Every structure is written in C-alpha cells, then in structure tokens.
Structure 1
Amino acid sequence: MFLIERYVITEVLRPFLVMAGVLTFIFASYSSERYLAEAANGTLALDTVLDIVYYKVLIALEVLIPVALYVSVVLSLGRLYHDTEMTAIAASGVSPWRIYRAVLLLALPVAVGVAALSLYGRPWAYTNTYLLEQQSKTDLDVNHLQPERFNVNADNGRMILAQRIDRVTGRLQDVLIYDAGRGRTHLFRAHEAEVTDSSPLNPVLTLEQGTAYSLQRQGIQDQTMQFKTMTLRLDPTPQTDEFKRKAASSHVLEASAALSDQAELQWRQSRGLSTLLLALLAVPLSRTPPRRGRFARLLPVTAVFALVFYAGDISKSLVSNGTLPLTPGLWIVSLVMGLALLLAFCRDLGATRGRPA
C-alpha cells in the first residue's frame, strides 16, 4: 500500500542526511575559524572554542535542517521528473496526494525535532554560549591576557597593558589599565597588580605602588592620587537585552508583556510548522518537464526560500517594534505558506481529475 511513499521517502532521505551533514560541517568550520582567530589574538581562551562551536551549531540547526530538507525534496523529486518516473507514476493512476503524503511522513518527525530544538535547545545553547564567552572573554582572565600588548575588551572598551604576566599566581607587572567608567575616564598605573576576582559580573583587582587618574569628560575636575595599595572594583560587563531574550526560557517569554519577548517566542513556536510547510511546498516547486534537468527550477526554488526566510525575519522585527500586531504576528508567514500550499495541492488534484482516461 505504501510502496510509492517508501520509494519517495528513500529518495529524499539519503540526500537530506548528506546535505544536513555538509551544511553542519560548513557552518562548524566557519565558526571554528572565527573563534580560533579570537583565541589566537588572545581575546578568547582556546579550551572553550570547541564548546562554543558546539552550541553555535546547535543553534544553527533550526535553520540548517529545514534548508537541507527543502532542497533535498526539490532535488529528489526533480530527478524523478527528469527521469520520467513521475510521469509513469501518474500514468499508473497514483494520486498526487501520495507524493505529498510521502513528503509529509518524512517532514513531520523532522518538524517536531526542529520545534523541540527551537523551543528548548535554542535558549539552553544561548545560555551556555554567552556564559562561556563571558567567562573566557573577561579581560581579567590571565589565561589569555597577552604581555606587552594592548588587551582590549570590545564589550566595555576596557584596556589592560602589562609588561609581564605570571599565569600561576595571577599577578601582573608594570600595569596600565584604562577604564571608561560612568561619566569619568579612569587610568591606573601600577608597579604590580593581582587579579582577585576575574568574574565578569564582579571584577576586582588589587593594585600596588602606582598612580590613579580620574578624568572628567565634561569639565575640568580631574583627580590624581598616589597609592601604595588599592582595591579596584571595575564595572561588570553588561548583558544586552538581546542576550537576555534569546537565553530566556519559553515559559519566561510567555509571562512577559514585552513585544520583543513575544516576537522571540513566536519565532520559536513557528519553526516546526514552517519546516513542515516548506518541505511540502517543495513538492509543487520540484515539478519540471521531462529531460529538463533537476536544476531547471533552481531560481524559483531559491527565490521562494529567500522570500520565506526574510519574511520571517522581517515579521519578527515588525512585531518587536509594534508595527505588526501579535495576532497574527509571525504566524502570518505560515498562513501565507499554507494558502500557497493549498492552492498548489488543489491545482494538482484538479489536473489529475481532468486528465482523460
């Protein structure tokens, strides 16, 4: 009974697995290159690179998997059309519904997996990624501070220059610290400094034998102070709203009244349905005349995917700033995709019923 469905699923499944693996490898390679460059520059600890890349790949899978499934359906069914196998299937009286059903049977568990990944894996991965980046990128971590060079924290603009660094004791020799505080710029010059607490949430140093300069940005009330020992508590590295939102659990977003939080929640909730509809839309998009080649419809196929992807991204921004109401919100993209799929399916059924016996 399911001979056609099994055949179509097999034809789609093999390229889907290969393409998903290739896309994941490419993305992981790109991420590794980026973070390895930061590790080489001393702004990221080397031992955390693999962990961060793992979490980044996990986040990207909610996009990579739908892309792989969509392209695999188009290429596989396009080959069947090219080899006139679809013509033979239709001539034997098989309804187009069975082709849709075959893709549905494969896409449904994939869509459920993408939905679970987006709802639960995405915030978990973002939380661990930001935590690792904060712990590793803190400008007071002597494990990746480089001597005789300006170590700059891009998040807060803080700069540390040390002639010598003892990574065992955490002590720095001949230290210059620049910190752009609230309303005033602080400059510290010390013979020696010890990192008491390297946490980005509560950074503390102990400075010995030096000079502290406090420069008022608007005004002339600058201050200079000589010291023998000073405990320096620096401003923590701020967490952006973007971080809090992406790392927040779905239950937290549900309880929030902020439009940006609701947009993030709708994005997560719509990923599974979008994956399913995109895979089913690939069925009519893959239709090509015999002997035309499986890549004959590459341009419209690419255009449809780009339209769906950017429409979702734009809708998320519109919901966040209040331009697009929460109802339908991001679901408007899925609604349009569903209507397009319904029209294509009705056209296929109508063409079958109108075919002469």
Structure 2
Amino acid sequence: MLFDSTVRKETARSFGLAFVVILTIVVTMLLVRSLGMAAKGSVAPQHVLLSLGYLTLAQLPVMLSLSLFVAVVMSLGRMYKESEMTIWFASGLGLSRFIRPVLATAWPVILVVALLMTIVWPWSNNSSAQLRQQFEQRSDLSRVAPGQFQTSNDGSRVFFIERDPTNEAAARNVFIMSNSEHLESVTTSAQGSLVTQNDQRLLVLEHGQRNDVDTRNGDKSVARFDRYLVTVDDGVMRSSDTRPPKTLSTFELLANRSKPNDGELAYRFGMILGCVNLVLLGIGISATNPRRASNWNLLFALLAFIVYFNLINLTQSWVVNGKYALGSSLLGLHGLAFVVNMLLLAWRDMGNRFSLPWKRVPPSPPAPPPAAPPPPAAPIIAPALGTPLSMQNPTTPGVPV
C-alpha cells in the first residue's frame, strides 16, 4: 500500500540520519572519557580503543532507542509541516493508523535493543570491568616505564628504575621514595627482582641503602643492606568472587533473585519496554501546526526522553532499595506510559475535541430568529400595446385630452 510504504521509507531514512549523528556525539564523549581513564591510571594506554569499544556497546541500546524516537518525531513532523497529514486525514485515515507502518519499521530495532540489553550489555560491562581490574592488579613495578618517575597505585610511593625489556621481573638501578604517616624513606639499590610469596608480590632489592627521615622531629637514619624486601602489591593473586549485577547475565539474575539483581532486571526490561513506548509517544507528540514557522516538537521529544530515561533509573533504585517489587515497578511505570500514549492518540484522532476546562472556548450566543418576510407588493399591470398616449395618463397636467 502506498500509505504504508511512504511512512516506512520516511521513518527509516530519518532513523539512519539520527543514528549517525547521535553515534558520532556519543563516541566522541566516550573517547574523551576513555582518555581520561587512561590518564588517571585506571586503564592501560594501549587498551584505550578496546575500552572505547566496550563502552560504546554498553551505550548502544540507549542510542538506538533515542534515534528511533527522534526518527518518528522528525518524519511525522515533516509530514505535518508539508501538509501531507492533511491529505491522509482527508482520505479517512486517523493518527492511530500510523502505528502499523511505524512499528513495521521499528520492530527490528526493538529486537536489537532486546538482544543488546539481555546479552551484550552484561558481556560488555564484564569485559570492561575485567580490563580495569587486570590493569589495577598489576604490580607497581610493572606500571613503571624505564627511565621515568611514576607514582604507585595508592600514591604513597614514587619509582624510578631501569628495567630489562627482555625480563619483566628483573630491574636495575632502583630508586624508591615512600611516604608514611610520620616517615619519609628513600631506598636505592643496584638491582632487584620480583618474587611472589603468600599471595603477595615482593620486590627483592640487593646491595643498596635506605635513608629515613622522621617528619615529627627531623631525625635521620641510614641503613645499608645486602638483601631487602619491598611489598609491591597485596593479594594480586586473589580474585573477587562478588561481581556487580550489571556484569551478570540475564539468566544468572533470574536464577539468583535478590534486590540488586531485581533492580538490574528492572533496568534491562525497562529499556526494552521503554523503546516500544517511545515509538508510540513519538506518533502522538509529532503533531504540529503547518502555519507556525518554528517546530518545538523535537525539543519536547528530547525532554520526554530524558524524563523517561531518568524514571527508568529511578525505578531501578527503588527496586534495589526494596520500595517496589520488580513486577509492580515495570507495570507501574511502563504500563502507565502505555496508557498515556493510547489516550494521546485517541485525543489526536478525536480532533482535539476534548480540551481542558480552562482552555475551552465559550459557546457563542444563539442567533436571533429570522425576521418575518415583508408583504408582497401589488402587481403592476403594464399598459397594452397600441393604446393612445392620451389614454395612458388622462390626469397629467398640460397634456390635451
């Protein structure tokens, strides 16, 4: 049908344009965030692009939902501005008739959002967390580049070493400056090596000395050693058994029901249901006046998306805190949004005949009754042809009889 194909093509074209713009903006912001994490030492510099990919996959459902919502508002809004809607309405089609072609275009995107939220979202979060955890669990010595001063992970020590590139566990010309509560120490050594004992990684220094300064009274002490052990990292061999809910798969969340897990399920299912409600909302709020030069519908759409997205996050926190259950939170928010969308479409189909009490136009006064028709005039009889002029008007003065 011409109507369905026109709406589908227009919506698909607008979706592609909106997605490219939103993806460019979000990837730029995530790149700045990844570079900031690398500068702070949370991510290895060589893993910046990998971290950017994980973050982009995690934010892809939000970008797809927003792009689809904006595409519906843009395509239908353009049809209103160019009076195409007037033609469709004059043909006997209501606004609710647009649901079928719009959903025919949107259902692949909704399916992709569902797969991303149930499968890709936990995998990307887990991979990103493991990437940061592996870098954080690296020893302080492995963080240091040869010939450069660098601070340890906790900020209490400063290292300078010359490390053999062929042997990561070996070091030479080691300089370590450490600060404690009342003590400043400077340790130098000709060579050192890394060993692991009792889940601790130790730096073994050989043939060096240590200078200590007491910051309370200024006392100094010097100690020479042939062998000295420095704790580089505590518990590097340990792995945390507790994982955050956002890194767990959907099946694990369903198998292990708890308040944090239910909150994560509320967010994942809420994003899927929210994508459907946003499509219906876009059909309802796309109406505009073609005589008006400015179009505020796109701005209202962005504000509606921000509010809806924040409500999904708020619902997640409510479920985690135990204020609402998983089913009631999903039904309360998304069910209410669905009812509002249906009422908005019905209001548009009724031609805005139902308005608010303070915006109703007062009825016009009744028209006065029509006046009685005037009485008919007496008929005028024309004189017969051939009558003498003197006989036509005998009383006219000055005319002879």
Q: 1:140 to 1:68 in 2, by over 3 A?
A: same
Tell me the distance in 2 between the aligned counterparts of 1:328 and 1:350: 32
**Higher relative contact order by CA 8 Å / sep ≥ 6: 1 or 2?**
1
The alignment partner of 2:29 has SS state of helix
| CA displacement at 1:163 relative to structure 2 | 3.8
Hey, what does 1:161 align to over in structure 2? 159
The alignment partner of 1:51 has SS state of helix
Hey, what does 1:216 align to over in structure 2? none
Hey, what does 1:326 align to over in structure 2? 326
Contact preservation (8 Å) 2:318, 2:324: yes
Contact preservation (8 Å) 1:4, 1:98: no
The alignment partner of 2:291 has SS state of coil
Tell me the distance in 2 between the aligned counterparts of 1:316 and 1:187: 49
Contact preservation (8 Å) 1:196, 1:205: yes
Name the aligned partner's letter for residue 325 of structure 1: A
| CA displacement at 1:300 relative to structure 2 | 2.6
| CA displacement at 1:275 relative to structure 2 | 0.5
1:8-157 superposed matches below 5 A: 8-39=7-38, 44-140=43-139, 144-146=143-145, 147-153=147-153
Query: Which one has a bigger Cα radius of gyration?
Result: 2
Match of 2:202 among 205, 223, 229: 205
Contact preservation (8 Å) 2:160, 2:176: yes
The alignment partner of 2:85 has SS state of helix
| Cα offsets for 1:169-212 (capped at 9, x unmatched) | 223442437699xxxx9989462443457xxxx66233223689
Tell me the distance in 2 between the aligned counterparts of 1:54 and 1:119: 18
Give the TM-score normalised by structure 2: 0.72
Tell me the distance in 2 between the aligned counterparts of 1:317 and 1:239: 28
The alignment partner of 2:113 has SS state of helix
Hey, what does 1:220 align to over in structure 2? none
Hey, what does 1:285 align to over in structure 2? 285
Contact preservation (8 Å) 1:32, 1:53: yes
| CA displacement at 1:167 relative to structure 2 | 3.6
Tell me the distance in 2 between the aligned counterparts of 1:76 and 1:123: 33
Give the TM-score normalised by structure 1: 0.80
The alignment partner of 2:129 has SS state of helix
Q: CA RMSD in A?
A: 3.6
Hey, what does 1:312 align to over in structure 2? 312
Gapped regions of structure 1 (runs ≥ 5) = 214-223
Indicate the larger mover: 132-141 or 242-251: 132-141
Q: 1:263 to 1:207 in 2, by over 3 A?
A: same
Q: 1:152 to 1:234 in 2, by over 3 A?
A: closer
Name the aligned partner's letter for residue 166 of structure 1: D
Q: 1:271 to 1:240 in 2, by over 3 A?
A: farther
Name the aligned partner's letter for residue 174 of structure 2: D
Q: 1:97 to 1:148 in 2, by over 3 A?
A: same
Indicate the larger mover: 229-238 or 324-333: 229-238
Q: 1:57 to 1:235 in 2, by over 3 A?
A: same
Name the aligned partner's letter for residue 97 of structure 1: S
Q: 1:17 to 1:187 in 2, by over 3 A?
A: farther
The alignment partner of 1:324 has SS state of coil
Name the aligned partner's letter for residue 81 of structure 1: Y
Tell me the distance in 2 between the aligned counterparts of 1:266 and 1:332: 12
Tell me the distance in 2 between the aligned counterparts of 1:133 and 1:110: 31
Tell me the distance in 1 between the aligned counterparts of 2:240 and 2:332: 28
Tell me the distance in 1 between the aligned counterparts of 2:122 and 2:17: 27
The alignment partner of 1:290 has SS state of coil
Contact preservation (8 Å) 2:144, 2:150: no
Tell me the distance in 1 between the aligned counterparts of 2:12 and 2:209: 68
The alignment partner of 1:351 has SS state of coil
Q: 1:131 to 1:106 in 2, by over 3 A?
A: same
Contact preservation (8 Å) 1:139, 1:145: no
Name the aligned partner's letter for residue 264 of structure 1: E
Hey, what does 2:174 align to over in structure 1? 174
Name the aligned partner's letter for residue 282 of structure 1: G
Aligned length: 336
